[in-house]
Amino acid sequence: MKTTRHTRPILLLSLLFLFVASPPPAAAFEQWRRRYDERTLQAADAADAADAAESVDYAALIETPTEIRFDIRDPASDADEDVVVESFADLHAVYPLNFEALCDVILDLDSHNSFVPNLVKSDVISAADDPPSWRRAARIERSVAVFSADYGFETEHIIVHQTDDEIAVIFRMVESHDEMLADTGGSWYLKRIDIDGREYTYVRHFNHVAFGSHTPGLRLALRNFGLRDIKSVMDAYYQEADARTR
């Protein structure tokens, strides 16, 4: 369509409306997808996660976080000059708890520093209501025999899909306080399932971390402890949810 003096105001008003209107969750997810690197969202698409969940042997995953993918590698190109090494983790598990119990713990961001391993700070403010989103100031301290470091950063968390039986939450770093991290983000996908007449919850967790500063022992620590740490985080949410239901 040819733009004229008369059509420009209409177009501008339309664009303004699109900018200020609160997007539905699906639109918010597409905005997030356009805004951020696709690699961080590999497990965030609720439809893809749901399709994958249908082919899973749920019984084999009960209280057993299992690797779908775990990778540690140097940056793929010169474009990632701020990244010294990055890790990708995609795991899933099934827990003998109702969907609501685990969902409540995942979304209770303020409390995470009280039970998530190595997370010593989790200060949260609400960012929006539709779709629900939050901004968190976090601090992680990690120390093992070959490696010690701490990371201060802020993340944005957004619910991109939610029904009575499913939820998908994605998160992404929006600010580093110390430039130790170049980027981090990932997703949680939870689904209510049934095994032999009992309710369980299927959980899939994707996590990507791009380290922006070389620390002695970092690569060795990632290779020896990275996968174990992600499994410990998943189990920590389950154990906290279980404790709250007792």
Asked whether residue 9 is assigned to any structural domain, the reply reads: no
Helices (H), the chain: 7-20, 25-35, 46-54, 99-107, 218-245
Asked whether residue 63 is assigned to any structural domain, the reply reads: yes
Asked whether residue 7 is assigned to any structural domain, the reply reads: no
CATH code, 98: 3.30.530.20
Question: pTM of this prediction?
Answer: 0.80
Asked whether residue 185 is assigned to any structural domain, the reply reads: yes
DSSP letter for each residue of 59-119: GGGBT--EEEEEEEE--SSGGGTT-SEEEEEEEEEEESS-HHHHHHHHH-GGGGGGTSTTE
Asked whether residue 8 is assigned to any structural domain, the reply reads: no
| Torsion angle of the four alpha carbons 72, 215, 112, 226, in this order, in degrees rounded to the nearest 10 | 30
Domain total of the chain = 1
Interval 4-16 mean pLDDT: 36
Residue-wise pLDDT tens digits, 30-43: 554 454 444 444 44
Asked whether residue 13 is assigned to any structural domain, the reply reads: no
pLDDT at residue 55, rounded to an integer: 76
Residue-wise pLDDT tens digits, 133-165: 999 999 999 888 778 889 999 999 999 889 999
pLDDT at residue 7, rounded to an integer: 40
Residue-wise pLDDT tens digits, 201-210: 999 999 999 9
Domain hosting residue 107, numbered range: 25-245
